[in-house]
Amino acid sequence: MGDFRQILVIELLGGIGDLLMALPAVHALGRRHAEAKVTVLTEEPGAALLRTDPWVAEVSTSTDVRGELARVDPDLVVSTSMHSGIPAALAAHGCRAVTDLWRGPPVDQRIPARYLEILRAEGLIGPADPTPRVHLTAAELAWAREIVGEVKRPVVLVRDSGMAVKRWPYFDDLAEIVPVLELPAMSLRELGACFAAVAAVDGVVVGGDTGPVRLAEAMGARVVGLFGPITVDRYGYGGGNLQGLPDCPHRRPLAITEQPCWWSARCPLAEDGPACMAAISVRDVLGRLSRGGAGRASV
């Protein structure tokens, strides 16, 4: 196993969701090597979510990987990222390194579980929960309870998914059925606290493959995930996922950026946008929401 004193986790894929999918691995390393100092090298705004994490001693947002290796002087590095010369920098540093946690995945294994499986195979962690968990302060959580109020079983709509190819076209139609309350602009930590408050009153968060919905899952909220160009089997949340056109012949689960629709959102099957996202109906979503009832809140 090894007695590590300094562990560096490099997560520079750039997305909030990418960081959250790596979080179970960070926590598993921290728990298994409780005497080690765990430093996470990542990017803002996601880095803010780690600053009160009990398993993370330090968060760095430096863009100088070699400089961070020299500063931290780790004896174990775990990296999800392979760009920016990271493998060469790790080889030059000479410490034990586990790189490219994306390697060799089966098409039906979710990414957080894949990360954990690789680290277990390397003998670095024991059994671990693949569900991400974000730790906020008591004051942040109390503030959010005031924002959310006492509405029971609220439904939060996360309308944006960052890329046009992943956006669901029927949020406005859903909002005509489920009354919507627009939340004020807030920081990522504040949003996470609001999701925790929503979870506490049996609320549901509806949205696509995007960091804020992963944050909702990490705060314990029930999630209804809307997936089209990517597969639920690899990227889905813990439960309640809907997959549009599961048999689309153009979907490439292990090479999503090579799909003809990915960068342009031009769908080979439809002229007016991704057919897979349009295939998820409002009725489909309402069916998932009816299990707990519908309330009113939206992002």
DSSP state string for 142-193: HHHHHHHTT-SS-EEEE---SSGGG--TTHHHHHHHS---BPPP--HHHHHH
Q: CATH code at 172? A: 3.40.50
pLDDT at residue 81, as a whole number: 84
**Is there a single domain that holds both residue 287 and residue 144?**
yes
Q: What CATH number did the domain enclosing 17 receive?
A: 3.40.50.2000
**pLDDT score at 112:** 96
pLDDT of residue 182: 74
In a domain, residue 48? The reply is: yes
Q: Is there a domain that residue 133 lies in?
A: no
pLDDT at 184: 81
- How many domains does the chain fold into? 2
Are 147 and 288 found together in one domain?
A: yes
Domain that holds residue 62: 6-121
Phi-psi region of 265 (alpha: psi -120 to 50; beta: other; left: phi over 0): left
Q: Report whether 218 contacts 23 (CB < 8 A).
A: yes
Q: Which residue has the tokens 């060469």?
A: 88
66 and 204 part of one domain:
no
Burial 8-47 (b: 16+ CB within 10 A, else e): bbbbbbebbbbbbbbbbbbbbbbebbeebbbbbbbbeebb
pTM above 0.85, yes or no: yes
Asked whether residue 115 falls in the same domain as residue 171, the answer is: no
Q: Does residue 40 sit in the same domain as residue 163?
A: no
Q: What is the pLDDT of residue 180?
A: 72
130 occurs within a structural domain: no
One domain, residues 163 and 207: yes
pLDDT of residue 291: 64
- pLDDT mean by block of 10 residues, the chain; 299 residues: 87 94 98 97 96 97 94 96 86 90 89 96 95 97 93 90 95 90 87 95 94 96 96 91 96 95 96 96 93 43
Dihedral pair phi/psi, residue 235, rounded to 5°: -115, 0
